[in-house]
Amino acid sequence: MTRLHTLDGAEVSGVPPELALYPYGAFTTFVAVDGSVRRWPRHVERLAQGALRLWGHRVDEDSLREVARAHLARLGGPSTVRITLYPEHLPLAAPAQARGCRVLVSSGPTEFPYRPQPEIAVTSVAHERDLPDLKSTSLLMPIHLRRQAQLAGFDDALLRHGDRVLEGSTWTVMVWADGEVATPDGAVLRSITADDVGEIARSLGWTFSRRPVDLPELVRADLVLAVNANSPARAIGRLDDDRLSIAPDLLDAIAATFSALPRDRV
């Protein structure tokens, strides 16, 4: 199965020029399996909040569902799906006049059920994303920092403020230590996948909290995850010059339990 792109329900070959010129929008990403999605209402809520805050548009949830459902019906197997909302009209000189909404849905094949992903090495970088509580299309700095990390011999960048852990370039940090799973709070994106992993942690006998996390905690932890929609069980094996602990049995349990979570029909 190749990648598929639909714009307002019609298949397109890519992002139209009028959207690519000013990539001002909100998006969400999830894994779709046989027309089902984990926590579909949360994804709709994320898109609705982004469109309202960025250009004052109120999303028609029924229309959004129909566009998404039509796209999912064309998929041939488990897929990673990204829904992006853009203003239909966005004058660069007068963004206060932005109006309307275009719905771009993009998808490609993925592996499901989930399995633990290869460990990654990350370097810590002082940076806070623009509007960190929104999942926006403003990815210039996250991609640039990831590139710089890879040129330096790492896989990705971990964002921090001083010693305070924020988030990864496009993923959430989850620290497993002493019976507690902690994920950073504050100026970070609230991760839908991390909430699910937190639910799994409780089912496995751990507590789950959102609280300040500092870099030394990662070095002392039993396991540190770099979590996103495609990878609920991906360990960080190196942070800067420090090797981090990895618990293979725990990774297996997280992947298996996540795969079995109930899903919503779109």
If pLDDT is split at 50, 70 and 90, which confidence band does 191 have?
A: very high
| Mean pLDDT on 30-59 | 98
In tens, the pLDDT along 89-98 reads 999 999 999 9
In a domain, 265, yes or no: no
Q: What is the pLDDT of residues 8-36, one digit of tens each?
A: 999 998 788 888 888 899 999 999 999 99
**What average pLDDT does this structure show over 148-167?**
98
Of 109, 137, 172, the residue at which a domain comes to its end is: 109
Same domain flag for 156 and 42: no
Domain that holds residue 11: 4-109
Would you say residue 160 lies in a domain?
yes
Same domain, 123 and 202: yes
Same domain for 121 and 103, yes or no, is no
Same domain as 40, residue 169: no
pLDDT of residue 1: 58
pLDDT digits (tens, 9 = 90+) for 120-144: 999 999 999 999 999 999 999 999 9
Kindly report the CATH number assigned to the domain that includes residue 94: 3.30.470.10
The reported pTM is: 0.95
Please give the structure tokens belonging to residue 161. 């403020």
Compute the distance between CA of residue 75 and CA of residue 72 in angstroms, rounded to an integer: 5
84 and 137 share one domain: no
- Flag whether 29 is in a domain: yes
**Confidence category of residue 49, pLDDT binned at 50, 70, 90:** very high
Q: In the chain, pLDDT over 70 holds for what percent of residues?
A: 100
- Calpha distance 237→104 (Å, rounded): 35
Please tell me whether residues 178 and 89 are part of one structural domain. Answer: no
**Of 76, 109, 142, which one is at a domain's C-terminal end?**
109
Domain count for the chain, please give it: 2
Question: Are residue 98 and residue 229 in the same domain, yes or no?
Answer: no
Same domain as 125, residue 96: no
Which of 109, 133, 160 is the C-terminal boundary of a domain?
A: 109
Question: Is residue 59 domain-resident?
Answer: yes
pLDDT of residue 74: 96
Q: 234 and 142 in one domain?
A: yes
Q: Is residue 212 part of a domain?
A: yes
* Residue 266 belongs to some domain of the structure: no
Q: Please tell me whether residues 48 and 87 are part of one structural domain.
A: yes
Tell me, yes or no, whether 84 and 159 share the same domain. Answer: no
CATH at 229: 3.20.10.10
